Every structure is written in C-alpha cells, then in structure tokens.
Structure 1
Amino acid sequence: MRSALWRRMAPADLPAVMRIAAVVHPSYPEDEAVFAERLQLASEGCHVLAGEDGGLLGYLVSHPWPVGTVPALNSLLGAIPPGAGNWYIHDLALLPAGRGGGAAGRIVAQIAERAMRAGFASLALVAVNDSTGFWQRQGFREVHDPALARKLASYDDAARYMRRDLQN
C-alpha cells in the first residue's frame, strides 16, 4: 500500500471511480454524470489513488463551493458559484486495500495546501459512514446549522457538516 500514489483524475478513470463508489458508499449512490461534471468543473480537486499495478484503490472529488451550503446528493452543479470562498470535499473513498497507510490523510493535506494557496478560507464536507473521527483528526470540526438539516437528512441521520478553517 505504501507504493500507492495519488494522481490527478482523468475522464478515463470514471468507470473505476464508479466501481469504488459502489463498494465504499453503496448507501449514497450517485450517477457517473455527477463525478464527470465535478471533474470538468474543478479538475484540480479530483484525484485517484493508483496502486503498484496501476489499478485504482480510491479517489477524492472536491471543488469550490460556498461556505455553509451543501450540494444535494446525486445532483449536478451546473457551475461553481462566483465568489465561493470554501473548498468542498464532495467524496473521499478508499477500498480496503488502500486503507491503513496514511493515503487519505496525505490527500486531505494536499488539498488543504492547494486551497490555502489559492486563497480559500476553509474546507468543508459532509461526513458519512461514521467518519467524523477521521475528519476530526484532519482538523475538521462539526458545524451545527439548522438551515442544513434537510440536506443532511437526505444522506442519513448520522451525516454531519464539518469545516476546517485554513490559515492564509
């Protein structure tokens, strides 16, 4: 696993990304068009974890988005809203073979650094699958906002909006 490396996602990676999503997030299905659009809108925020054999072990999809808001699950964005001062982590998924070597923490640190250099004030995400502990270790904190309750409920009762402020 230590030899697995993150690289920029390419359109040709989307079928493998969809297979990983089906394994890691079966309760949160999204159409391939959602991933393709995010790759097209913010390619610098989309990465895949490639193993020694070139097979994919995981992916990260992220993009600019306004702070305090959450894109609906399985929805197209259309465009990135102007003035979005937050970098949103849409999805981070690793197959079991890609876990345990620090790959998830490395890509989060890489995205945080890029977002900070680009002038973004924060990172945000919706934590699912009991992942809040992982995200807390990455510097995120839960944000309780009643205005987000309906969107979070579309994920599940345990979904949490989390944010990490960045120092510029």
Structure 2
Amino acid sequence: MTADTPAMTIAALRPSDLPAALALQAESYPPFLVEAEAAFASRMTLAATYSLAARRDGVLLGYLLAHGWAEQSPPPVGTVLAEGVPSEVLFIHDLAVSSAGRGLGIGEALIGHAFQGAARDGLRRAELIAVEGAAAYWRRLGFTAAATSGALAEKVATYGPHACWMARDIPPSG
C-alpha cells in the first residue's frame, strides 16, 4: 500500500452491507452454496457474532460470516439461524474477498480480528467447512482436517464434493 492508497478498515458487518455482501457471495460461490438474504442476515444478528467487513473508501472488499455455535454441528446451507445454540466454538461460515481485494491479506486480517473477539469471549476452538477446494488456503491459516463422525460427514457432504471439515485452536487473548 502506498501513501496515496486509502487504508482498509475492518469493522462489524452491518445490515447496510447486505446488498454488497450478497453480490460478493454470488460472485464467489456456486449457486448451491449461495444463501438467501434471510439466512445470511441471521448470522449477523446472533448474540455471539464475529461477522466482519473489510472496507476501503466505504466499498466492501471482503466479509467474514462467523459466529459462536455448538461444537461439530455446522448448520445446513441456507438455514435461518436463531438464538439458543450454545457458543462452544467459533464457527466460520463464510469468507469472501472481492477480486479488487485479493492479494491484500484481507482474509487473514478478518480471521485475525474474529479470533481476537472470540478469545476475549472465551472461545478456544474454531471450526469450518472448507468448500470448493479452499482447504489449502485454510491450512495456510493454521487449520487442519479434523476427524468426523458419520453424522458430521453427512452434513459436510452437503457443502459439495470437495468439502472438508477443518479446525484449529484459537490463541488466548492477551
């Protein structure tokens, strides 16, 4: 970034970000993984949300949908989430970066910010389903493929043929 390049900011993903986030989601994922507005928005309104936006000059460059959730219990794609599920782990549901934001470290920055908040709130583990061949990216961020039960493997399979269940510890805040 040069001196005349505006700085990127990371802050909470807001309802006003929904149109841009939904457009970015549609660009980033195959149709069977694209969620409707109600399902997407429900992840942003949970009490233990770590959903974040990366912006430059007010333009959404990337977003992270992440929230506290029950361990080894990913919600099905398209589900509208409601309060009441215990926050045992940080579940990383979705990470997307625009073509204009690629190569700027946005994904890593969003995950780092979410980990800080989760650690502060006492969450010690993060889980995700890597889709569409993204497991290599997540490995670079410290995630490893994790063992799954039969029921969990069935849920993971609904995220596509190359889906992979992954997890990693969250470093303590401090």
Query: What's the TM-score once normalised by structure 1's chain length?
Result: 0.91
* Cα offset, 1:144, TM superposition: 2.4
Segments of 5+ residues of structure 2 without an aligned counterpart are: none
Q: 1:78, 1:44 → 2: CA distance?
A: 12
Q: 2:71, 2:135 → 1: CA distance?
A: 19
Q: For the aligned residues, what is the CA RMSD? A: 1.7
Q: Relative to 1, partners in 2 of residues 1:117 and 1:152: Cα closer, same or farther, differing over 3 Å?
A: same
Q: 1:76 corresponds to which letter in structure 2? A: V
Matched, 1:104 2:110: no
Structure 1 match to 2:95: 92
Deviations 1:91-141 (A, max 9, x none): 000011111011111111111121112111201111012111111111111
Residues 64 and 80 in structure 1, CA contact (< 8 A), matched pair in contact too: no
Sequence identity percentage = 34
Residues 49 and 59 in structure 1, CA contact (< 8 A), matched pair in contact too: yes
Q: 1:31 corresponds to which letter in structure 2? A: A
SS at match of 1:45: coil
Q: 2:164, 2:156 → 1: CA distance?
A: 7
Deviant stretches of 4+, over 6 Å: none
Query: What's the TM-score once normalised by structure 2's chain length?
Result: 0.88
| Bigger Cα displacement from structure 2, 42-51 vs 18-27 | 42-51
Counterparts of residues 11-160 of structure 1 (less than 5 Å): 11-27=15-31, 28-42=33-47, 44-52=49-57, 54-82=58-86, 84-145=87-148, 146-160=150-164
Q: 2:124, 2:133 → 1: CA distance?
A: 26
